[in-house]
Amino acid sequence: MSLFTRLATAARRRERGVPALVVSGLYAALVLGTAVFVEAVVLFSEDPGFVGVWLVLVTLPLSTFVLGLTTVLVPDGGGGILESLVLFTIPCAAVGLLQSWLLWRVFRGRRREPAPR
């Protein structure tokens, strides 16, 4: 069975499973797309500016913890591409994916009763 078939089957077992799966999947795609965009700008631009703000805004409220952790671990701001990837982009994307999973868990509803045989 493919991953999408298993996800659809699991979504159909819940009261609001399909809409919850769509919303959480779109949010996960938004998070990953924003993370790829941010890293592309950081890698290929001479002055990326404040492009990381987009990733923070998409992954709020949990991204504030990532910002606090980055501030504690690299107080001078770092500035290297590897530091940007390891200390900011990957943790922010992971927090966003965690929020996507939480969206699924909260909005999927109760399990439907199995059909009588």
Share of the chain above pLDDT 70, in %: 86
Structure-token match 């990381």, residue found = 52
- Which pLDDT does position 94 carry in this prediction? 95
pTM of the model: 0.83
Q: What sign does the dihedral 70-74-79-85 (CA atoms) show?
A: negative
Each residue's pLDDT tens digit, 48-100: 888 889 999 999 999 888 888 777 776 665 566 666 677 788 899 999 999 99
- Which pLDDT does position 81 carry in this prediction? 61
Tell me the pLDDT of the chain averaged across its residues: 85
Which residue type is seen at 82? L
